[in-house]
Amino acid sequence: MAVSWSEQMLTALTLPHQEPDRAVYTLAGQLKVPLKLLVKSDQVPELIVQLEKQLQHFFLGERCSFNFKVDLSWCTPFQRSVLQAARLIPYGETRTYKQLAGMIENPRACRAVGGALRGNRVLLVVPCHRIIRHDGTPGGFGGQPWWKEKLINLEKSICLKNHVHY
């Protein structure tokens, strides 16, 4: 995984990759910056240390809050409203694109909601994987819908393991 931050806020986070270089390449794409502008930091703030711990626990099947400040300054007001609403969806639960559009009081904006989620730079922390199609299928997820299914199933199994009903 690769992560970027500024001013004690997350700016971008990738999903796990087989190769670290691929994660960095993905991060550069999310941030829309050339690879040469990304710098590996030896001084990692406590925010990132805590994020790393939570990610390790999450992928080991333990419940995590991912309650971190996220930099959404790059968003349009619409994108910001969609991403903020996505953060309100409870752990282990899903909503449809239409339901999320309703949450932002724009019920006809289903496709636009999908577009805003596609731009999410902080996957998992802003849980866009919890948004599915009306027929129950995962929908898009950066061309990797299997990741979305994996994350939804992982959260559901964590809830079951912890006797949390959703």
Question: What residue spans define the domains of the chain?
Answer: 3-59, 77-161
Strand ranges, E, within 7-122: 9-13, 95-96
User: In the prediction, which pLDDT does 159 show?
Assistant: 87
- Tell me, yes or no, if 128 is annotated catalytic: yes
Least Cα distance to 83 among 71, 91, 92, 94 occurs for 71
DSSP string, 80-106: HHHHHHHTTSPTT--EEHHHHHHHTT-
Residue 135 has pLDDT above 90, yes or no: yes
Between CA 118 and CA 132 the distance in angstroms is 13
User: In the prediction, which pLDDT does 165 show?
Assistant: 53
| Per-residue b or e along 42-54, where b marks 16 or more CB atoms closer than 10 Å to that residue's CB | eeeeebbeebeeb
What is residue 67's three-state secondary structure?
Answer: coil
Residue 83 has pLDDT above 90, yes or no: yes
Amino acid identity at 86: A
What is residue 126's three-state secondary structure?
Answer: strand
Q: Which of 75, 110, 128, 159 is catalytic?
A: 128
User: In the prediction, which pLDDT does 32 show?
Assistant: 83
- Going by pLDDT thresholds of 50, 70 and 90, the confidence category of residue 164 is low
Helix (H) or strand (E) holding 5: strand 3-6
Residue 134 has pLDDT above 70, yes or no: yes
Question: What is the CATH architecture of 77-161?
Answer: Orthogonal Bundle (1.10)
Confirm if 10 and 69 have CB atoms less than 8 A apart.
yes
Predicted TM-score of the model (pTM): 0.88
Round the average pLDDT of the chain to a whole number and report it.
Answer: 89
| From 14-18, 34-38, 53-57, 158-162, the region with the lowest mean pLDDT | 34-38
